Amino acid sequence: MPTSQDQLKKMAGERAVEFIHNNMVVGLGTGSTVKFMVDALGKKVKDEGLTIVGVPTSERTRLQANRLGITTKGVDEVDHIDLTVDGADQIDKRFQGIKGGGGAHLWEKIVAINSDKNMWIVDESKMTDQLGSFPLPLEVIPYGSKQLFKRLSNKGLNPKFRMKDGQHVLTDSKNYIIDLYLHQIDDPEKLASELDHMTGIVEHGLFLNIVNTVIVGYESGPKILH
């Protein structure tokens, strides 16, 4: 029977936990792959009596970690983060990625840039030659967001507000999400710089030059890429 996507995610998540040791401060990402990792970390903390501090990148992850007995602190309550383990929506050959499918990329990027090391855990479907077939998420301030939407449209960036049941999806910081349906991103650095300079965008989901290690779940087993 072929391995399911969830099994591949679980495999990557469980492998990542082997990089977490006693007394580490660990950034905990968000998403279904990270959920498997946090489950495995909770078990390791309990079985081996480890002292770990988790820095969650979303309320969802914080609740899960606390439920499993993992101590958590906010990003401003720790003086360093040894390693952050997070998922991703797409990763290219240079380890440039798109994140934010789960709408948590603002907190994820804040935790990531404050971490000594960053690791992504994904199933093989996330690896790509070119970024962009996954829509690029933007976290935007609600105030003026319709005007921002128009500016994005005029630039040909194909924006769509992320909605659920007729309501704007809200991030943990109570902002909106706009997804850009770009299909392919030829120059991620140029696009990132353009988005960095647009008033109203709090953060975009392009994560460039952030990650050192990727663990990919393949049918044949997890592969660690550096």
Q: Does 200 bind ligand 5RP (CB under 6 A)?
A: no
The yes-or-no answer on residue 124 being catalytic is: no
Q: Does 5 bind ligand 5RP (CB under 6 A)?
A: no
Contact 177, 103 (CB under 8 A): yes
Residue 133: count of CB within 10 angstroms of its CB: 14
Q: In whole angstroms, how close is the CB of 99 to ligand 5RP at the nearest point? A: 3
Binding residue (CB under 6 A) for ligand 5RP from 14, 89, 179, 203: 89
Structure tokens at 63: 């609740």
Query: Which of the following is catalytic: 14, 18, 108, 194?
Result: 108
Q: In whole angstroms, how close is the CB of 216 to ligand 5RP at the nearest point? A: 12
By beta-carbon proximity to ligand 5RP, the closer residue of 88 and 195 is: 88
Residue 183's Cβ-side half-sphere holds a number of Cα atoms within 13 Å equal to 2
Which segments of the chain are extended strands (E)? 25-28, 53-56, 71-72, 81-86, 90-91, 97-98, 115-123, 136-140, 159-161, 163-164, 167-168, 176-180, 201-204, 206-207, 213-218, 221-225
* 78 class by beta-carbon count within 10 Å (0-12 exposed, 13-18 middle, 19+ buried): middle
Binding residue (CB under 6 A) for ligand 5RP from 44, 60, 62, 105: 105
101 is in an annotated binding site: yes
Question: Of 12-71, which residues contact ligand 5RP (CB under 6 A)?
Answer: 29-33
Catalytic residues: 108
List contacts with ligand 5RP (CB under 6 A): 29-33, 86-89, 99-105, 108
Q: Which residues are annotated as a binding site for substrate?
A: 30-33, 86-89, 99-102, 126
